Amino acid sequence: MVRLNQLCLAVVFLTRLPLGRLLPPRAMPLAPAMWAFPLAGAVVGVIAALPLMADGPPLVQAALSLALSVWLTGALHEDALADFADAAGGRTVQDRLRIMRDSHLGAYGTMALICISALRIAALSVVGPAALIASAAGGRTAAVVAARMLPAVRRDGLGHGAGRPGLATTGAAVGLACLILLPTGTDGPVAAMAAIIVLFLIIRQARCWIGGQTGDVLGAASVCCETAMLLVFAWLT
């Protein structure tokens, strides 16, 4: 029952699916439930893959798939990426943290959203449902790994509130992501390697810019690693 509640919590946290009524009345910590992030990502991937299974122009199918994914997640990761990208305009740690908390969208964030959306649509016009599902799971796993490897830099906010997942929780998330990756065949390990490289770069940049992680860093890691996997799958198709 605990595992089922944690799975529901992960889905509720990462999506707009109305599963909140299934959760117990008492508050549950998020960090121990992060093992289920890949499964929540796979749920998003399965639903977002529906347009890819229909007949139609590939670019239209890809655009519909991306739109469905963004709607399902409430643009959670895209908003985080835009905030993290806007931090490039700051000169000090405090300045970057202030920019990331600002609700206004800057030039860096705008261009990051345009580029990431274009890359995802291009890749989705080529790949199949299995690649999308694996990439969605891999992206959410990247957020778990980043939360494990980076300390929270704020005493409030999403990154601090989520908590730091334990080693066993992180390992379980990675293991589930690997299982979800199996149907993609020999292309899967290459895509996973691309996600690892991108995750390393984001972690390095976050340490350089702000000395740790916030919710924006975790969300940016998720969407960037998912996109990296999609691009590799598309390239190898």
Whether 11 and 72 have beta carbons less than 8 Å apart is answered as no
What pLDDT is stored for residue 2 in this prediction?
79
Q: What is the Rg, in whole angstroms, of the alpha carbon atoms belonging to the chain?
A: 17
> 23: part of which helix (H) or strand (E)?
none
**Tokens 């405090």 sit at which residue?**
94
DSSP string, 80-100: HHHHHHHGGG-SSHHHHHHHH
Cβ neighbourhood burial of 25 (10 Å; 0-12, 13-18, 19+): exposed
Cβ neighbourhood burial of 195 (10 Å; 0-12, 13-18, 19+): buried
Whether 220 and 81 have beta carbons less than 8 Å apart is answered as yes
Which distant-in-sequence residues (6+ apart) come within 8 Å of 82 by Cβ?
105, 109, 110, 112, 113
What pLDDT is stored for residue 4 in this prediction?
87
Q: From first to last of its 237 residues, what are the pLDDT tens digits of the chain?
A: 778 889 999 999 999 998 877 777 677 889 999 999 999 999 999 999 999 998 899 999 999 999 999 999 999 999 999 999 999 999 999 999 999 998 899 999 999 999 999 999 999 999 999 999 999 999 999 999 999 999 999 877 665 557 799 999 999 999 999 999 999 999 999 999 999 999 999 999 999 999 999 999 999 999 999 999 999 999 998
> Which pTM value belongs to this model?
0.94
What does the block give as tokens for 173?
């998330």
User: What is the four-CA torsion angle of 200, 203, 207, 211, rounded to 10 degrees?
Assistant: -150
What pLDDT is stored for residue 161 in this prediction?
59
Which distant-in-sequence residues (6+ apart) come within 8 Å of 60 by Cβ?
none
User: What is the four-CA torsion angle of 9, 11, 15, 18, rounded to 10 degrees?
Assistant: -80
What pLDDT is stored for residue 19 in this prediction?
82
What does the alpha-carbon distance between residue 144 and residue 55 come to, in Å, rounded to a whole number?
35
